[in-house]
Structure 1
Amino acid sequence: MSRKKFGFWSIVLLTINSIIGTGIFLSPQGVIATAGTLTPLIYIAAAIFAGVLAMVFASAAKYVNKNGAGYAYAKAAFGNNIGLYVGITRFVSAAIAWGVMGTAVVRTTLSIFVGASNVTTSMITLGFIVLMSVLLVINLLGNHIVQIMNNVSTIGKISALVVAISAGFIGFLLTGTSHFGEVRDLVPGSTSMDLSLFVAAVIAAFYAFTGFESVASATSEMENPEANLPKAIPLAMGIIALIYIGVVSSAMIANPQAILNSEEVVVLASAFDHPLIKQIIVYGSLVSMFGINIAASFSTPRVFQAMAQENQIPQSLAKENSKGIPVLSFVVTALLAVVIPMAFQYDMKGIMVISSISRFVQFIVVPMGVIAFYYGKAKNEHEVLKTARKNFVMDVIIPIIGLCMVVLLLVKFDWVGQFSMKDAQGVQTLNMYAISAMVVGYVLLPFAGILYTKTLSK
């Protein structure tokens, strides 16, 4: 009996579910505090940046239809060693991202039901274990159940965000009152941002768009991926951009001061006074966070599985059960997703920064890989589909634009500020958790992987 695979619309919903999670519910406060009235523009800029990179990944998917997404593209374009490096760093970044999302849903759930001040580290750890166990059970039930859970959670989170959009704009139409202009007084100087502040704000908003790069990690579980992915990913990104820009604009029209001063668990809910609307947004955020954990539990273990299938890490990690689930890869990935947040003492800001920045290796390599595919210069040309329809704009111009945008963000990014933190006395010190995570994930693990493959080849 053949397994049920993800069709076109299920891929669209998987993409949406892989992206809309914690960011739009929890991050508007920081973006508004930095960008003020320019916040919608910041989200537009982040949407353009993410949309360009999403189109690059969509183009790569038509050339290579193997599991692993960025790993598979890098390996095909530049050979086994670069592929392995991208694969390991991508696995680390994906596991960190899963840890961020797991932390968010557990902390948010506990804060809602027992109060934020009563949440302890042991409670979060226990909640994490329960969450991972539930996700394992869902995956063990097979792709059909994963699809149903994915589709339901996606529709639920979109519905909650549509309610937030409607509440702000309908309130404005009924009363004629908008508080949008008040942001100028609340965030003075934001209208004359320098480039560094603009970049910092865009990266903060960009976090809410990340996840598109993981959608193609399980192409073997999708129908006609080389044709469906290049259409599904841009469509989903367009829908998400419209929702995000609508949400932040609506919240700023309704009550920007409440968002800036919010101590609520779900910051977005602070903008609205009506208790029913607040409850819909709060519980919608829980559905959203749980849904994105389902998407992560489906996609992330397949990165390890893809490398094992290529014999670049132990092949035992590629083994599937009767439902097509790589159980050992799931367990290893889930352990890393739990351990990293624990190492950061569940500090959301610290792991969100690492999660965002750790993705940029593939954002540099994949655009160059697409250009190599277009010109027939791939190192592992036998892994590239000969039937791919080449397009100069999508396969050369868009990747070059994406590369330029990535380089600009990396050059202007406040590396020192993001890899330091204040101690109990308020003194700025190095964030050794963040630095250690980057050294292990980007130096030690890739080096160990390359040594392993060299040992096998002898």
Structure 2
Amino acid sequence: MKRNTRGERPSGCPSQDTVDGEMEKLRLKRDIGFFSTGCLIAGSMVGSGIFMSPQGVLFYMGSIGGSLSIWATCGFVSTLGALCYAELGTSIKESGNDYIYLLRIYGQFPSFLCIYLNVFLLIPASNAAIALSFSQYVANPFYQNCSSPETVVKLIAILCILVVVTINCFDVTVATRVINTFTVTKFIALLVIIVGGMVMLVNGHTGHFQNAFQGTATGYGAIGIAFYQGLWPYDGWSSANYVTEELKRPEVNLPRALMIAVPLVTCLYIMVNISYFTIMSTAEMLASGAVAVSWGSRVLGSWMWLMPLSVAMSTFGCINGGFFSGGRLYYVAAREGHLPAILSMIHVRRLTPSPALIFTAISSIILIIPGNFSSIINYSSFCTWTIYATTVSSLLYVKIKRPDIPRPYKVPIIVPILFLIISVYLVLAPVIDSPQIEFLYVFLFALSGIIVYIPFVHYKLHPEFLQKATLHLQLLLEVAPTERFQDDK
């Protein structure tokens, strides 16, 4: 998956020597300050998960007390991970998150598997899960007395993906405006839920919290899957590590922003769950097709339509942001020769990364068709925590074997050790106690990455037909390597 060097470069593009010279001169601007870093982290964490996952956590834990314990523990685990990634991000000041850390510490093969799983599974799975939550809240008002038909939910999810990819392919400015506008709605929706629940709680609606731990699950497999459901809404705490090269004073601002944003979101999530449980019993929560809509029908009365609208706007903005930011990872990986060059190219007029966006949309739709929200979260979480465990093990390796590497920010070694133990538990416990077919799919998919790595990355094989396919795709999609536009500046 090496860049085409055999004559197929479109007319007008600079030579490879010129490109390399320009790449040495170009640097990303450090324009993201402390406040923006915190907003990026918090905004990436708060998405559709808090509107969908409470039911999953409750289902596997079996009680209100157990569920709230999972949400609080998930915040603690996320904080441990944020501390570890803060040290990695201030030691290796390159964008790319897990991928770049594994590349610089462990080398080509682990980093390739990381990007392979991210690009072909995790990013599409995240988009699919968010699109399904969006469609659930859009469809629910039309099927208030019964569950929304699965076909309707999936068709709306696919339509959501198509609209988002069209927006992002059309214009970067439009995409960013959508992100900014819809980000506000998610916090408004959560604030309404928290305030409404607190008012009811103060007025004496505490009956659902009696015997809160009765029926709590004790099996380590069930608890592990409950953690999958609870940790997914927290995912995003490492989002600033994708843009480290653009952070102002990352050695100072990155750790501070993480230590404010992650605990803040933890408190927000716990208060939202308390509000849910104040209004609805466990049976009502589990029977609800869209928990925030059910909450709104009981608290807001004739204004209950605000909840599905707010949640739908929130999830739509979240998936739009995922499409928008995913391009950085594609670019970094393609720059290192780990992805086809076509995925790092941009449209010659609109200057949008349309090949990467179209590929992400297709792969997301493929996951939507056979899957459901819960199963997608389970196998994507299994894969995510495998990557987290590997990345944090690289931090331990550096601490022990390469203590001479400058590290402006350091965490006590017990922090990565504890996080690694938790990560290994989250990977192994569900597989051992309650194996599911999704885990086998992820394992087989990882094995397929080895098959791809050996010829295309290790031996740098670039068959003629792939070069021709790249050229035809460039002509069809009207895209070209980004170096062309860098050279024109």
User: What TM-score do the two structures reach when normalised by structure 1?
Assistant: 0.82
Give the SS at the match of 1:41. helix
Q: Is the 8 A contact 1:6 1:221 kept in 2?
A: yes
| Greater alpha carbon shift after TM alignment, 285-294 vs 260-269 | 260-269
Deviation at 1:248, TM superposition (A): 0.9
Runs (5+) with no aligned partner, structure 1? 420-430
Deviation at 1:325, TM superposition (A): 4.1
Deviation at 1:416, TM superposition (A): 6.1
| Greater alpha carbon shift after TM alignment, 409-418 vs 89-98 | 409-418
Q: Are positions 1:444 and 2:451 aligned together? A: no
Q: Taking structure 1 as reference, are residues 282 and 127 closer, same or farther at Cα in structure 2, changes over 3 Å only?
A: closer
Give the SS at the match of 1:211. coil
Count of residues in Structure 1 that have an aligned counterpart in Structure 2: 429
Listed one character per residue, the Cα deviations across residues 147-176 of structure 1 (whole Å, up to 9, x for unaligned) are: 543343333211211111111111222x23
Deviation at 1:251, TM superposition (A): 1.9
Q: Is the 8 A contact 2:334 2:340 kept in 1?
A: yes
Alignment of 1:231-310 (within 5 A): 231-257=256-282, 259-267=284-292, 269-270=294-295, 272-275=298-301, 278-310=304-336
| Greater alpha carbon shift after TM alignment, 239-248 vs 285-294 | 285-294
- Work out which of the residue numbers 395, 398, 408 in structure 2 matches 1:389: 408
Deviation at 1:243, TM superposition (A): 0.5
Give the SS at the match of 2:312. helix
Listed one character per residue, the Cα deviations across residues 291-340 of structure 1 (whole Å, up to 9, x for unaligned) are: 22122112333322211111122223223457764332222222211112
Alignment of 1:52-451 (within 5 A): 52-91=80-119, 92-113=121-142, 119=149, 121=151, 124-125=154-155, 127-138=157-168, 140-142=170-172, 145-173=174-202, 175-182=203-210, 184=212, 188-190=214-216, 193-219=218-244, 223=248, 225=250, 227-257=252-282, 259-267=284-292, 269-270=294-295, 272-275=298-301, 278-321=304-347, 325-344=352-371, 347-374=372-399, 377=402, 386=406, 388-393=407-412, 396-414=413-431, 417=434, 419=436, 431=437, 434=438, 437-451=441-455
Aligned mates of 2:450, 2:307 — CA distance in 1: 41
Give the SS at the match of 1:65. coil
Q: Taking structure 1 as reference, are residues 4 and 348 closer, same or farther at Cα in structure 2, changes over 3 Å only?
A: same
Deviation at 1:227, TM superposition (A): 4.7
Give the SS at the match of 1:238. helix
- Work out which of the residue numbers 28, 32, 43 in structure 2 matches 1:17: 43
Aligned mates of 1:342, 1:261 — CA distance in 2: 24
Q: Taking structure 1 as reference, are residues 56 and 277 closer, same or farther at Cα in structure 2, changes over 3 Å only?
A: farther
Aligned mates of 1:239, 1:21 — CA distance in 2: 15
Q: Taking structure 1 as reference, are residues 122 and 333 closer, same or farther at Cα in structure 2, changes over 3 Å only?
A: same
Listed one character per residue, the Cα deviations across residues 57-111 of structure 1 (whole Å, up to 9, x for unaligned) are: 2222112233321111111111111111122123322221122112221343234
Aligned mates of 1:331, 1:4 — CA distance in 2: 29
Aligned mates of 1:324, 1:78 — CA distance in 2: 34
Code of the aligned partner of 1:275: G
Alignment of 1:30-49 (within 5 A): 30-33=56-59, 34-49=62-77
Aligned mates of 1:153, 1:4 — CA distance in 2: 25
Deviation at 1:400, TM superposition (A): 1.3
If you compute each CA radius of gyration, which structure gives the higher value, 1 or 2? 2
Deviation at 1:113, TM superposition (A): 4.7
Q: Taking structure 1 as reference, are residues 8 and 137 closer, same or farther at Cα in structure 2, changes over 3 Å only?
A: farther
Give the SS at the match of 2:305. helix
Aligned mates of 2:359, 2:442 — CA distance in 1: 19
Q: Is the 8 A contact 1:77 1:377 kept in 2?
A: no
Aligned mates of 2:177, 2:251 — CA distance in 1: 23
Q: Is the 8 A contact 1:13 1:154 kept in 2?
A: no
Runs (5+) with no aligned partner, structure 2? 1-27, 463-489
Q: Is the 8 A contact 2:74 2:227 kept in 1?
A: yes
Q: Taking structure 1 as reference, are residues 7 and 99 closer, same or farther at Cα in structure 2, changes over 3 Å only?
A: farther
Code of the aligned partner of 1:63: S
Aligned to 2:3: none
Identity in percent? 18
CA RMSD between the two structures: 3.2
Give the SS at the match of 1:53. helix
| Greater alpha carbon shift after TM alignment, 236-245 vs 220-229 | 220-229
User: What TM-score do the two structures reach when normalised by structure 2?
Assistant: 0.77
Q: Taking structure 1 as reference, are residues 123 and 390 closer, same or farther at Cα in structure 2, changes over 3 Å only?
A: closer
Q: Is the 8 A contact 1:67 1:218 kept in 2?
A: yes
Aligned to 2:473: none
Give the SS at the match of 1:264. coil
